[in-house]
């Protein structure tokens, strides 16, 4: 899989996308991830990428020309399954969407900044708009990193125990059950006996019961969907 990210602030992406599982996936060539600084395509001596919005109002808007130039250069090299714009008014990102995107071959992600990008770029190039929550951040870089992390860990070979990703919260629409490790007793609190029993069937049933109960208590919205 190849992911190309267009951003005004590449520094915000280099940290989260050059460590842990993502970095190992890159080193193992499970994915190819490229960050493209938009100022390389900026206008004039100051490499301008934004301007005041028409119709007045506060803030700045990312201009068409730098974005279009960068996008067109990438389109000359690759065919993309999706050109994604990270936007607070996009589809709400969830595990199901992460699963879908992890099966794509190539995706491009555009990180908005300031007041966003000129609508004409959205109309001409963007195939999907994604939000990570009902709130506004300073730019699309952190949301893009979230989406990339969620996608990449699902790609075969990205993590050593592939079954681990399949048992995460939300994969089956439920929250994950409690997990325990050594020691068996800590501060007077013991690991549930069932987990020490070696009875795989009983353990699976216990985990399902715990997932259902946790989801009912903490995420009744998800629990209702089980009906």
Mean pLDDT of 194-217: 96
Burial (0-12, 13-18, 19+ Cβ within 10 Å), 17: buried
Instruction: Report, as an integer, the average pLDDT of 44-48.
Output: 96
**CA separation, residue 174 to residues 90, 158, 217, 220 (Å):** 24, 23, 11, 10
111: left (phi over 0), alpha (psi -120 to 50) or beta: beta
| Rounded Cα gap, residues 130 and 1, in angstroms | 19
CA 121, CA 63: separation in Å to the nearest integer?
9
pTM over 0.85: yes
pLDDT (tens digit per residue) in 138-194: 999 999 999 999 999 999 999 866 555 555 656 778 998 999 999 999 999 999 999
Chain region(s) in the chain for CATH 1.10.1270.20: 167-224
- Write out the CATH class of domain 2-152: alpha beta
Instruction: Write the pLDDT tens digit of every residue in 71-89.
Output: 999 999 999 999 999 999 9
Q: Is the pLDDT of residue 21 over 80?
A: yes
Which of the following CATH numbers is that of domain 167-224: 1.10.1270.20, 2.60.40.10, 1.10.630.10, 3.30.365.10?
A: 1.10.1270.20
- Residue located via tokens 């600084």: 37
Sequence ranges of the chain with CATH classification 3.40.1280.10: 2-152
Q: What is the mean pLDDT of residues 10-21?
A: 92
């Amino acid at each position: 899989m190849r992911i190309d990210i267009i951003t005004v602030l590449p520094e915000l992406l280099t940290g989260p996308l050059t460590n842990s599982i993502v970095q190992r996936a890159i080193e193992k060539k499970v994915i190819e991830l490229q960050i493209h600084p938009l100022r390389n395509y900026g206008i004039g001596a100051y490499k301008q990428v934004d301007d005041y919005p028409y119709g007045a109002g506060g803030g700045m808007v990312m201009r068409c020309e730098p974005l279009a130039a960068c996008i067109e250069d990438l389109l000359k090299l690759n065919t993309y399954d999706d050109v994604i714009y990270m936007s607070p008014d996009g589809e709400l990102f969830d595990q199901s969407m992460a699963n879908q995107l992890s099966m794509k071959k190539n995706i491009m992600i555009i990180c908005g900044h300031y007041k966003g990008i000129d609508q004409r770029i959205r109309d001409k190039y963007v195939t999907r708009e994604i939000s990570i929550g009902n709130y506004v951040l300073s730019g699309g870089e952190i949301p893009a990193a979230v989406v990339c992390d969620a996608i990449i860990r699902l790609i075969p070979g990205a993590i050593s125990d592939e079954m681990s990703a399949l048992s995460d919260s939300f994969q089956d629409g439920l929250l994950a059950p409690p997990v325990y490790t050594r020691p068996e007793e800590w501060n007077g609190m013991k690991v549930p006996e069932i987990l020490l029993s070696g009875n795989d069937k009983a353990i699976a049933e216990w985990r399902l019961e715990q997932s259902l109960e946790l989801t009912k208590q903490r995420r009744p919205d998800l629990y209702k969907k089980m009906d």
